[in-house]
């Protein structure tokens, strides 16, 4: 184990040399990875085969390397908006392409393993940065009925390989926590059940040992951030059925990490996780690890929120109440899903003491009330750009009205929201699912505002880092 940990640290320290620079954030597309796959064809160690097509006609590729007797099959991004592992797979291709660093380790892997990889099973979904494929089928609920060509391809490749191990690579929501701790579940594992009885079959036990073993190594890098997904059997999912059909399947989910919405650190952790697990399979060292190690990994729970404001006073009917208020952001795609803006809503309010925020602020001694709309009507975006936010803020205005028939945006980078006059209803009560626009006072004076979930300090309006929303478009 000491050697395996040392190897993982070597991978950690040399990672930047192999990070695929053309994949900078999560919103890369099929066209980006096709270029990289074309380059793999020119390198001896890789074999590249077209194994299917998506509904919109994008090729699905199988990249193979190694000639060992143990077969390992990895597939990523069957959910189009879950790309973290795909990027890590291209980092891993770069790692294998370099003959000079850790040559013995590479030789060891390639002589003991035959590795098969489908990166981006759902390219049509990735194009739109959406979970499902282009006809709204969730590929991971299509293994039984096999309606989508992407699912058929995955099943055909699985059948042709009958691999010893499978890696089902996904992303999970940022709201997952490690148990009830204040840590995001940054990496979650599962050895899926092969049936409703959650039987402990030989392939499942093998996967449990491998996960437990890999988690010990991973604990060097992200202690307290590793969780385990629920093992309820899902008869329509690939991992569960592949386990039933004899492969030791590891579900690997990349979750949240503080200050890393683009998950570039977790991409690096994926790289280390996958290469370390391949090493353990090749050396069979995972057999030394008891399944209890797996069983003791804390469960995935949902106790994370993006932003929690704590201990605020809420006045209602002459009475005063103490509340916390939790805000979550949704990512809204634009520019052909190459970019996104954030849209905040109230997740919950009241006693949120069991929840943790990616960001939190204690506002004891402050009061909260809904954000207000400035009654003055502006006629052009240029007029709005001239507005002094401080004047709006001191009156508690988080929104302004715009009457401009030519304007059709969804969001802006102005530090206040825009309500289009022709359709200007905006729910502003403090209750779940409503937009997160608040006024926060101390001793009656406005001190802070929350505009679309972003905190603004009245003394420092220039510190605005968020995006605001155009309502009513």
Q: Give residues in contact with Zn ion (CB under 5 A).
A: 79, 82, 170
Query: DSSP alpha helices (H): ranges in 113-255?
Result: 123-128, 149-161, 202-218, 238-244
**DSSP structure string for 67-133:** --SEEEEEEE-SSTT--HHHHHHHHHHHHHH-SSSSHHHHHHHHHHEEEEEE--S-HHHHHHT-SS-
Minimum CB distance to Zn ion smaller for 168 or for 183: 168
Nearest approach in angstroms of CB 19 to Zn ion is 23
Minimum CB distance to Zn ion smaller for 88 or for 420: 88
**Are the beta carbons of 440 and 448 closer than 8 angstroms?**
yes
Please name the residue that has the structure tokens 């059925």. Answer: 241
Minimum CB distance to Zn ion smaller for 193 or for 254: 254
Nearest approach in angstroms of CB 357 to Zn ion is 24
Nearest approach in angstroms of CB 140 to Zn ion is 6
Residue 44 φ then ψ, to 5°? -60, -35
Q: Which residues contact residue 118 at a Cβ distance below 8 angstroms, ignoring those fewer than 6 apart?
A: 51, 60, 61, 62, 63, 74, 75, 76, 153, 154, 157
Q: Is 346 left (phi over 0), alpha (psi -120 to 50) or beta?
A: beta
Q: Is 114 left (phi over 0), alpha (psi -120 to 50) or beta?
A: beta
Alpha carbon 74 to its chain centroid, in Å, reads 18
Minimum CB distance to Zn ion smaller for 106 or for 170: 170
Nearest approach in angstroms of CB 420 to Zn ion is 36
Nearest approach in angstroms of CB 254 to Zn ion is 10
Nearest approach in angstroms of CB 162 to Zn ion is 24
Q: Which residues contact residue 160 at a Cβ distance below 8 angstroms, ignoring those fewer than 6 apart?
A: none
Nearest approach in angstroms of CB 190 to Zn ion is 11
Helices 84-97 & 103-112 angle (0-180, nearest 10): 110
Strand-pair category, 177-178 with 300-301: antiparallel
What's the token pair of residue 127? 């194009």
Minimum CB distance to Zn ion smaller for 170 or for 225: 170
Number of helices (H) and strands (E), helices first, in the chain? 12, 23
Nearest approach in angstroms of CB 151 to Zn ion is 13
Nearest approach in angstroms of CB 245 to Zn ion is 20
Minimum CB distance to Zn ion smaller for 176 or for 397: 176
- Starting at the edge strand found earlier in the chain, the sheet holding 372-378 runs 372-378, 397-402, 417-420, 468-471, 411-412
Minimum CB distance to Zn ion smaller for 123 or for 435: 123
> 60, 81, 56: which is closest to 135 by C-alpha?
56
What's the token pair of residue 201? 């079959």
Per DSSP, 188 falls in state E
CA distances from residue 255 to 85, 300, 316, 360, 428 in whole angstroms, order as listed: 11, 10, 38, 19, 31
Nearest approach in angstroms of CB 58 to Zn ion is 19
Nearest approach in angstroms of CB 169 to Zn ion is 9
Minimum CB distance to Zn ion smaller for 110 or for 143: 143
Cβ-based neighbour number of residue 35 at 10 Å: 9
Minimum CB distance to Zn ion smaller for 27 or for 170: 170
Residue 342 φ then ψ, to 5°? -110, 140
Minimum CB distance to Zn ion smaller for 170 or for 204: 170
Minimum CB distance to Zn ion smaller for 19 or for 79: 79
């Amino acid at each position: 184990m000491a050697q395996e940990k040392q190897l993982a640290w070597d991978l950690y320290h040399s990672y930047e040399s192999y990070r695929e620079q053309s994949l900078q954030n999560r919103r890369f597309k099929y066209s980006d990875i096709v270029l990289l796959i074309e380059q793999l064809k020119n390198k001896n160690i890789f074999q590249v085969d077209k194994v299917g097509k998506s509904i919109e006609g994008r090729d699905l590729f199988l990249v193979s390397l190694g000639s060992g007797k143990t077969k390992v099959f990895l597939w990523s991004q069957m959910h189009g908006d879950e790309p973290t592992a795909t990027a890590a797979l291209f980092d891993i291709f770069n790692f294998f392409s370099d003959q000079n660093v850790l040559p013995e380790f590479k030789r060891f892997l390639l002589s003991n393993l035959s590795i098969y990889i489908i990166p981006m099973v759902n390219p049509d979904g990735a194009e739109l940065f959406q979970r499902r494929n282009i006809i709204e089928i969730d590929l991971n609920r299509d293994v039984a009925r096999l309606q989508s060509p992407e699912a058929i391809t995955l099943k055909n490749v699985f059948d042709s390989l009958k691999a010893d191990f499978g890696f089902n690579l996904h992303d999970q929501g940022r709201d997952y926590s490690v148990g009830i701790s204040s840590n995001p579940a940054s990496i979650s594992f599962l050895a899926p059940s092969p049936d409703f009885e959650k039987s402990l079959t030989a392939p499942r036990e093998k996967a449990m040992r491998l996960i437990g073993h890999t988690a010990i190594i991973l604990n060097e890098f992200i202690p307290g951030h590793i969780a385990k997904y629920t093992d309820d059997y899902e008869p329509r999912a690939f991992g569960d059925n592949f386990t039933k059909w004899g492969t030791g399947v590891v579900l690997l989910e990349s979750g949240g990490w503080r200050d890393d919405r683009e998950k570039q650190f977790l991409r690096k952790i994926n790289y280390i996780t996958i290469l370390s697990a391949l090493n353990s399979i090749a050396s069979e060292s995972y057999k030394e690890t008891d399944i209890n190690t797996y069983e003791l990994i804390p469960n995935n729970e949902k106790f994370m929120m993006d932003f929690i404001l704590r201990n605020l006073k809420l006045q209602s009917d002459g009475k005063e109440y103490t509340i916390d208020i939790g805000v979550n952001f949704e990512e809204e795609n634009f520019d052909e899903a190459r970019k996104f803006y954030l849209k905040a809503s109230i997740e919950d309010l009241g006693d949120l003491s069991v929840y943790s925020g990616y960001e939190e602020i204690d506002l004891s001694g402050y009061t909260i009330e809904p954000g207000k709309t400035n009654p003055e009507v502006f006629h052009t975006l240029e007029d709005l750009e001239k507005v002094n936010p401080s004047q709006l803020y001191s009156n508690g205005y988080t929104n302004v009205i715009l009457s401009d028939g030519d304007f059709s945006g969804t969001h802006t980078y102005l530090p206040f929201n825009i309500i289009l006059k022709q359709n200007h209803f905006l729910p502003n009560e403090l209750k779940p699912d409503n937009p997160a626009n608040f006024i926060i006072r101390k001793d009656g004076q406005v001190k802070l505002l929350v505009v679309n979930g972003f905190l603004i300090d009245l003394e420092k309006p220039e510190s605005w880092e968020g995006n605001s929303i155009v309502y009513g478009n």
